[in-house]
A and B are shown apart, each in its own frame.
Chain A
Amino acid sequence: MKKKPTLGIYGFTGCAGCQLSLLDCEDELIDLFSAADIKVFYEAMSNNDDEALVDIALVEGSINTNKQLDELKEIREKAKVLVAFGSCANHGCVQAMALGDGKWEQRFKQVYGDAKFTVAIPREAQPIHKFVKVDAFIPGCPPSKIQMLRAITQLLFGNKPTYTNSPVCLECKFRENECLLNDGKLCLGPLTMGGCTAPCPTHNTPCIGCWGIIEEANHIAELKLLKEKGFKTEEIIRRFRMFGGSEIVEKIEKLLEVAK
């Protein structure tokens, strides 16, 4: 019998929802554990082998301390294929919503005052691709069950995982929802990576962009549209940034220029 592929699941800073989504595959969990030789999965097991070389590393969370950065580099060395697993690892998620505004130290002080820490040296949240080569990614906040299981299956067979390369807006149309933008709601569906099957607009609540920005996103068109609907520039940019992480930072200047 062919040797089972080895798998490591590692978590950095975030809500641990991507790892939890794996545990939430109640019907598939037993199969998953038997299809792969799981070397590291701290959230679920106590017999972890930190030194193991792994075929696939799923890395959840953003990098928020120097200790995490060192560990990430070690994982990179041990893994054949390193996968950014979920929004925090991919873009930084909500903890990166103010990335690059130069006020991180001020916020740290607001929260912790002058307290000194020996446990690790904290730093501003960054997605993992800022520090190491990332071979593949699984989007989502958290990833949807179907997409995640498909991606992991593809990885276990030595293939690159595929993802939904269309916006939430398209999946929302498939579900025959009325457009919330027409209703005057600030919906980010046209800009956001799909694959979630648009649960939020299907519940009459706007897309908040939690899976991150899709490649074809036209922020300028959405900004103009939302301004026409009466939203203030400041509020629109704030929403773009909430889950936009490191990717939106590059677009901000241009957007502010257009908004004038």
Chain B
Amino acid sequence: MKKIIEVKHLARVEGDGGIYVEIENDQVKKVQMNIFEGPRLIEALAIGKLPEEVISFTPRICAICTVSHKNVAIRSIERALKYKEDKKTYFARELMHLGEIIESHSLHVFALALPDYLGYPNVIAMVDKYEDVVKQALNLKKFGNKVMQILNGKYIHGENATAGGFGKFPTEKELLEIKKEAEELLPFSIAATDIVGVLELPDYLEEETVFICCNPADNKFGFWGDELIFSNGKVIPSKKYKENLIERTVPHSFAKRSLYKGKPFTVGALARLNCIGDRLKKEAGKKYKKYKNPRWLKNPLFNNLAQTIEMIYCLERIPELVDILLKLPTPEFEKPAKKRGRGVGTVEAPRGLLVHDYSFEDGYVTNANIITPTAYNLDDIEKYFKNSAFNLNKAGKNEDEIAFELEKIVRAYDPCISCATHLVKVVKK
């Protein structure tokens, strides 16, 4: 007997993707996460551009991860052309990044994923019964946007942050406002962890996988670093990403795939908590300890819970950052020391490891490589589809029931399909 499970257009995800699964005689014959989003060839367009142009247009790869793309492009470029990184600039970039994590996570957890678990088609339909949660979640999201707007000039595609510094630093008044709001939102964020933490998650998909994230310096938690850390404890320099995470193309997707030692892996909030979660302190650390369990290593549905814990971290870190920023003098714009070189930037976008890798000759880009978290995750998403389809079919579920469960997996990963479609191997002029 043959079953075909097809979701033509995934809902409550960013971009245009679908699922196709074939089951024959109780064996899963075919599993595809299709990516229909058209290719934009961003990396090829980066060739022959100046650093500031690259920093302006590569964030257009994705609106939800625009600040991550900006920060990682800056990191790559500043490493390639040997900029000095001023302290105030560094911490302002971090603050901007946390704004994005909060905005993206709150959108994802409450508006895109939670309706599945509570049985609603969208977040607005939840208002009747969960008005307070929806409103507070929207406040959290709005706060994330506000931080990005103040730091980057606009909450989507701002231009204030660039290589060498900021056009304008936030004022003392703006910073204090950010600090106050972060403190006010913290209690809801702590409570939200428990809303998500008590959800019963199914185990039909479980299988151990490898998790990977950036390794922040000085044994701290955070969203960037020049090393990558694996859930098995291994650490490699970011520069060696290409030798370790091997890319290939598949016919059913304009997004490329990557394998580590021939196996799929997972990046994102759950990866960060699995690799460096033991570095969390304060309330975030308490929730991490409360909920951490061995199933986290084999069930990506825990990603939403991990995201709520990260939101606590962000809201606790923001007041610290404001205090640091208020004490530091406003620097002059830094200039590049060189006109040629290669730099690899790695940051943690909300959805996980994001790589920008540029080479320059005479000040212009000659090589560009961008790999996004969703592209890294696609192979593991298909692996978990396969497990789920096999077990749910065995348990007698029909096509629609299986499709709904597969959609849940996709949404737990929070794919960013716009991002996924813009990756490439090395581009040479």
Binding site for B on A (CB under 8 A): 11-18, 20-21, 23-24, 26-27, 29-30, 33, 41-48, 50, 62-65, 67-68, 93-95, 97-98, 104, 107-108, 110-113, 115-120, 122-123, 125, 141-142, 196, 199-200, 202-206, 208, 210, 235, 238-239, 242
**Total residue contacts A-B, CB cutoff 8 A:** 205
User: Is B61 interfacial (CB 8 A cutoff)?
Assistant: yes
Most buried by A among B115, B123, B153, B156: B156
User: Is B201 interfacial (CB 8 A cutoff)?
Assistant: no
User: A23 with B111: in contact, given A94-B42, A122-B38, A204-B167 (CB under 8 Å)?
Assistant: yes
Q: Which of A23, A104, A122, A196 is B254 in contact with, Cβ under 8 Å?
A: A122
Contact assessment for A64 and B153 in the assembled complex, using a CB-CB cutoff below 8 Å: no
From 48 to 96 in chain B, residues with beta carbon under 8 angstroms from any chain A beta carbon are 48-50, 53, 56-57, 60-64, 66
The smallest beta-carbon distance between B108 and chain A, in angstroms, is: 11
From 139 to 168 in chain B, residues with beta carbon under 8 angstroms from any chain A beta carbon are 139, 141-142, 145, 153-160, 162, 166-168
User: Is B240 interfacial (CB 8 A cutoff)?
Assistant: no
User: A208 with B138: in contact, given A13-B38, A67-B36 (CB under 8 Å)?
Assistant: no
Q: Which of B124, B156, B254 is A17 in contact with, Cβ under 8 Å?
A: B156
Range of interface residues on chain B? 35 or more
Most buried by A among B53, B421, B427: B53
Contact assessment for A200 and B44 in the assembled complex, using a CB-CB cutoff below 8 Å: no
CB contacts (< 8 Å) of A107 on chain B: these are: 41, 44-45
User: A111 with B145: in contact, given A30-B124, A200-B153 (CB under 8 Å)?
Assistant: no
The smallest beta-carbon distance between B146 and chain A, in angstroms, is: 10
Contact assessment for B16 and A11 in the assembled complex, using a CB-CB cutoff below 8 Å: yes
The 5 closest A-B pairs by CB, nearest first: A64-B38, A17-B63, A115-B249, A107-B44, A204-B167
CB contacts (< 8 Å) of B251 on chain A: these are: 115-119
User: Is B11 interfacial (CB 8 A cutoff)?
Assistant: yes
Contact assessment for B427 and A111 in the assembled complex, using a CB-CB cutoff below 8 Å: yes
User: Is B35 interfacial (CB 8 A cutoff)?
Assistant: yes
> In the complex, what distance in Å separates the CA atom of A15 from the CA atom of B56?
14
* Chain B residue with Cβ nearest A64: B38
The smallest beta-carbon distance between A116 and chain B, in angstroms, is: 6
* Chain B residue with Cβ nearest A143: B156
Contact assessment for B424 and A15 in the assembled complex, using a CB-CB cutoff below 8 Å: no
11 contacts between A and B (CB under 8 A): A18-B63, A20-B64, A20-B156, A46-B122, A108-B44, A117-B252, A117-B253, A120-B36, A125-B40, A203-B158, A242-B56
The smallest beta-carbon distance between B95 and chain A, in angstroms, is: 15
* Chain B residue with Cβ nearest A17: B63
User: A16 with B14: in contact, given A199-B154, A203-B153 (CB under 8 Å)?
Assistant: yes
User: Is B299 interfacial (CB 8 A cutoff)?
Assistant: no
Most buried by B among A14, A119, A120, A202: A119
> In the complex, what distance in Å separates the CA atom of A17 from the CA atom of B35?
18
User: Is B215 interfacial (CB 8 A cutoff)?
Assistant: no
> In the complex, what distance in Å separates the CA atom of A45 from the CA atom of B63?
19
The smallest beta-carbon distance between B357 and chain A, in angstroms, is: 14
CB contacts (< 8 Å) of A208 on chain B: these are: 56, 159
CB contacts (< 8 Å) of A111 on chain B: these are: 39, 41, 43-44, 424, 427
From 103 to 139 in chain B, residues with beta carbon under 8 angstroms from any chain A beta carbon are 107, 111-112, 115, 121-124, 127, 138-139
Give me 16 other A-B pairs in contact (C-beta within 8 A), A42-B9, A93-B60 excluded. A13-B37, A14-B418, A15-B63, A17-B60, A20-B63, A21-B156, A64-B40, A68-B38, A108-B39, A111-B427, A119-B253, A122-B38, A142-B156, A203-B167, A205-B160, A238-B53
> In the complex, what distance in Å separates the CA atom of A65 from the CA atom of B407?
24
Contact assessment for B122 and A119 in the assembled complex, using a CB-CB cutoff below 8 Å: no
* Chain B residue with Cβ nearest A104: B41
Q: Mark B1-19, 1 if CB is under 8 A from A, else 0.
A: 0000000011111111000
Contact assessment for A125 and B38 in the assembled complex, using a CB-CB cutoff below 8 Å: yes
User: Is B295 interfacial (CB 8 A cutoff)?
Assistant: no
> In the complex, what distance in Å separates the CA atom of A48 from the CA atom of B121?
9
CB contacts (< 8 Å) of A235 on chain B: these are: 50
Q: Which of B34, B41, B111, B427 is A44 in contact with, Cβ under 8 Å?
A: B111
Contact assessment for B44 and A117 in the assembled complex, using a CB-CB cutoff below 8 Å: no
The smallest beta-carbon distance between B356 and chain A, in angstroms, is: 15
CB contacts (< 8 Å) of A17 on chain B: these are: 60, 63, 66, 156-157
CB contacts (< 8 Å) of B57 on chain A: these are: 94, 97, 242
User: Is B239 interfacial (CB 8 A cutoff)?
Assistant: no
Q: Which of B16, B37, B56, B425 is A113 in contact with, Cβ under 8 Å?
A: B425
User: Is B242 interfacial (CB 8 A cutoff)?
Assistant: no
> In the complex, what distance in Å separates the CA atom of A122 from the CA atom of B38?
6
Q: Which of B121, B122, B157, B167 is A210 in contact with, Cβ under 8 Å?
A: B157
User: Is B263 interfacial (CB 8 A cutoff)?
Assistant: no
From 156 to 203 in chain B, residues with beta carbon under 8 angstroms from any chain A beta carbon are 156-160, 162, 166-168
> In the complex, what distance in Å separates the CA atom of A120 from the CA atom of B45?
22
The smallest beta-carbon distance between A3 and chain B, in angstroms, is: 19
